[in-house]
Amino acid sequence: MNIAIETRGLTRVHAETRALDDVTLQIRANTITGLLGRNGAGKTTFMSLATAQDRPTSGEVRVFGEQPFEHGSVLERLCFIRDNQRYPDDYKLKHALRAARIFYPEWDQAFADELVAMFRIPEKTVVKKFSRGQFSALGIVLGLASRAPITFFDEPYLGLDATARSYFYDVLLRDYNAHPRTIVLSTHLIDEMDKLLEHVVILDRGRVVQSADVEDLRGSAHQVSGREADAERYAIGRRVLRRHRMGGLVSLVIEGRLTAEDRAAAAAADLDLGTVGLQDLVAAYGAAEPDADSAAEPVGEPFAGNEPTADRAPKEARS
Ligand SMILES: Nc1ncnc2c1ncn2[C@@H]1O[C@H](COP(=O)(O)OP(=O)(O)OP(=O)(O)O)[C@@H](O)[C@H]1O
């Protein structure tokens, strides 16, 4: 397996906050990996450390086998598009493109021009006067046209309208297929990006609670719904990741692959079985706050007592 990024015990502490806490993981080369997790989970911190924009408190990060800090040959292969990127006051589109052309060895100007036209990025306005969506679009142009071997996007869609977001997902996939490379992106729009992601790393309060291929994750749980008493009986002895209650009905996200016995048990109890969406799985693994309120958890009510813990987390997350 070709590894692009590897961390061991990576930790970043700010005063009282463990922004990243003993993170050991690997990100495969030539995959699109989603960094998922609630606000403050440590996603930006992870990207800042991997791109040498910040230093770990302890532990280490290796990018293409090297420590990135002050390692020019590694840094020139990285592109980090931050959601709050700063540009010089007088910078216009052409200045940002010119700087990118100098900085990124694989820069594709024709592709950048195509993207600028599609996103309708203004040429005469200084970047600091851009709308939020135009600002994000500029980041996307720089990130994609850089063709950097590893490109990090930190919530690249902020302010983009639905048409522009859909265009971004399409063009990202098209360009990634034509020019395979490693893409790491943080997102809260899990349902929208579901089809883009091959691997996900779910962070919660600075720790990795899941690092898995999306296909494996999808198969790692199932959903059962029906009358509450019947569903709860089915759940006895199984680990319930999420509960959604609707009147006398309940829908449970249950850890574990569906077996023939599960199907028989569900059919006997007149329960419906279904697959679990990535959003629900992430909520189950990455946002399982026992007392999170329902407004913060629109997909359902987390089940107290079933919060993922280190001994329940998968092997890779624990190692
Ligand atoms: N420079 C800093 N000083 C103090 N605390 C910080 C600093 N940078 C990050 N933190 C804290 O570290 C934690 C992780 O922050 P981080 O920005 O990595 O989260 P995130 O997952 O990217 O969040 P979001 O989804 O809201 O962007 C947060 O609690 C944040 O307040």
Q: How far is residue 62's CA from residue 74's CA, in Å, rounded to a whole number?
A: 10
Q: What is the rounded CA–CA span in Å between residue 185 and residue 182? A: 10
Q: Is residue 314 part of a domain?
A: no
Phi, psi of 224, rounded to the nearest 5 degrees: -130, 135
Indicate whether 315 belongs to any domain: no
- Residue 318, domain member (yes or no): no
Residue 316 forms part of a structural domain: no
The answer to whether residue 14 sits within a structural domain is yes
Mark which of 180, 215, 250 sits at the end of a domain: 215
- What would the pLDDT profile of 57-71 be if each residue is shown by its tens digit? 999 999 999 999 878
Q: Phi first, then psi: give them for residue 22, nearest 5 degrees.
A: 60, 55
Are 161 and 269 in the same domain?
Answer: no
Question: Measured in angstroms, how far is the CA atom of residue 20 from the centroid of ligand 1?
Answer: 9
Same domain, 226 and 209: no
pLDDT of residue 287: 53
How close is the Cα of 105 to the center of ligand 1, in Å? 31
**Contact call for residues 244 and 232 (beta carbons, < 8 A):** no
C-alpha–C-alpha distance, residues 281 and 46, integer Å: 21
Q: How many domains does the chain have?
A: 2
From the CA of 46, give the closest atom in ligand 1. 18
Judge if 190 and 68 occupy the same domain.
yes
Range of the structural domain that residue 189 is part of: 3-215
Q: Confirm or reject: Cβ of 11 under 6 Å from ligand 1.
A: no
Q: 194-208, pLDDT tens digit by residue?
A: 889 999 999 999 999
Q: pLDDT below 50 — which residues of the chain?
A: 288-319
- CATH number of the domain where residue 294 is located: 3.30.70
* pLDDT tens profile 73-115: 899 999 999 988 889 999 999 999 999 999 999 999 999 999 9
- Residue 317: inside a domain: no
Q: 98 in a domain, yes or no?
A: yes
pLDDT for 315: 32
Q: What is the pLDDT of residue 302?
A: 35
Q: Is residue 172 part of a domain?
A: yes
Average pLDDT, the chain: 88
In degrees and rounded to multiples of 5, residue 127 shows phi and psi of -60, -35
Query: Do 69 and 129 share a structural domain?
Result: yes
- Cα 107 to Cα 97: distance, rounded to the nearest angstrom: 10
Decide: 17 in ligand 1 pocket, CB within 6 A: yes
Q: Which residue has the least CA distance to atom 12 on ligand 1?
A: 19
Same domain, 155 and 262: no
> Which ligand 1 atom sits nearest the alpha carbon of residue 12?
12
**Shared-domain flag, residues 143 and 273:** no
- Domain stop point among 158, 184, 215: 215
For residues 180 and 234, state if they share a domain. no
Q: Is the pTM of this model over 0.80?
A: yes
Q: Clarify whether residues 207 and 242 are in a common domain.
A: no
Ligand 1 in contact with 51 (CB < 6 A)?
no
187 Cβ below 6 A of ligand 1: no
Q: Are residues 142 and 276 in the same domain?
A: no
Say whether both 259 and 298 belong to one domain: yes
Atom of ligand 1 nearest to the CA of 83: 27
CATH number of the domain within which 61 lies: 3.40.50.300
Which one of 12, 13, 17, 207 would you pick to mutate in the ligand 1 pocket, going by the greatest count of ligand atoms within 8 A of its CB? 17
pLDDT at 289: 42
Ligand 1, atom 16: closest residue by C-alpha: 42
pLDDT for res 184? 98
pLDDT value at position 286? 62
Quote the pLDDT of residue 300.
Answer: 37
41 lines ligand 1 (CB under 6 A): yes
Distance (angstroms) between ligand 1 centre and the Cα of 18 equals 9
